[in-house]
A and B are shown apart, each in its own frame.
Chain A
Amino acid sequence: SQQGEEDPQALSIQEGENATMNCSYKTSINNLQWYRQNSGRGLVHLILIRSNERETHSGRLRVTLDTSKKSSSLLITASRAADTASYFCATAVYGGATNKLIFGTGTLLAVQP
């Protein structure tokens, strides 16, 4: 399967703590993206990191990318109860005639108030 792996599968933290999620993938990528999904809802795009970047930030989000290890991490600082959701990494790969996204297995984050 092309699907990437994420760990942990589930993470429970207290409000104010930081949450770190990791993603590993298998193929060469153009970029890697992180998405959030609230239960039973659609996806919300959070942040994108290009293959030639090692780190990027957006607000409370920090993403790192190590292409030599084919891995990425998402750090959410000062977490809030509203951050409770599933988080997915998605690698953007060249799929022949069309570029496509391959999603990781996801991390379920629960932030306790």
Chain B
Amino acid sequence: GAVVSQHPSWVICKSGTSVKIECRSLDFQATTMFWYRQFPKQSLMLMATSNEGSKATYEQGVEKDKFLINHASLTLSTLTVTSAHPEDSSFYICSASPGRRSYEQYFGPGTRLTVT
């Protein structure tokens, strides 16, 4: 149980275009989803927290207009990188939690984004 999927697993896009990454909880309802980014050989940095049906909460330094997060249902959250630039190239990982007060997080396999 507690499986989280991400799609796509990798994507290459041209500078200036937008790309959407999906995060799905497959066998449980995720009240809360988290988005992280990870640069090569570095740790995971929390970008934002999204609760179903409400606006995402972004961490300090993360541009909300650049990284659009939608958590429209209890099983799906999307991250859209708008007007992507090469410096946005990174590994994006989502996680899902069954409740806002829960400390359980189940991680997706990640999406490798390369912006050329």
Contact B109–A99 (Cβ < 8 Å): no
- Shortest Cβ distance from A112 into chain B, in angstroms? 20
Contact A42–B107 (Cβ < 8 Å): yes
Number of interface residues of B (CB under 8 A): 27
Chain B residues positioned under 8 Å from A102 (CB to CB): 46
Which of B103, B106, B112 is close to A99, meaning CB atoms less than 8 Å apart?
B103
What is the 8 Å Cβ interface bit string for chain A, positions 14-46, against chain B (1 contact, 0 not)? 000000000000000011000100001111010
Contact A42–B57 (Cβ < 8 Å): no
Given A43-B107, A98-B51, 19 other A-B contacts at CB below 8 A?
A31-B103, A40-B91, A41-B109, A42-B108, A42-B110, A45-B107, A92-B103, A96-B57, A97-B51, A97-B57, A97-B100, A98-B49, A98-B57, A99-B103, A100-B46, A101-B95, A102-B46, A103-B44, A106-B43
Instruction: Provide 6 A-B residue pairs closer than 8 Å at the C-beta atoms, listed in order of the A residue.
Output: A42-B107, A42-B109, A88-B44, A97-B100, A102-B46, A106-B43
Report the interface size class on chain A: 20 to 34
Contact A101–B46 (Cβ < 8 Å): yes
Q: How far is the CA of A21 from the CA of B102 in the complex (A)?
A: 26
What is the 8 Å Cβ interface bit string for chain A, positions 31-66, against chain B (1 contact, 0 not)? 100010000111101000000000000000000000
Residue of B42, B43, B57, B105 contacting most chain A CB atoms (<10 Å): B43
Which of A42, A96, A98, A105 is close to B93, meaning CB atoms less than 8 Å apart?
A42
- For chain B residues 62-105, which have a beta carbon within 8 Å of chain A? 91, 93, 95, 97, 100-103, 105
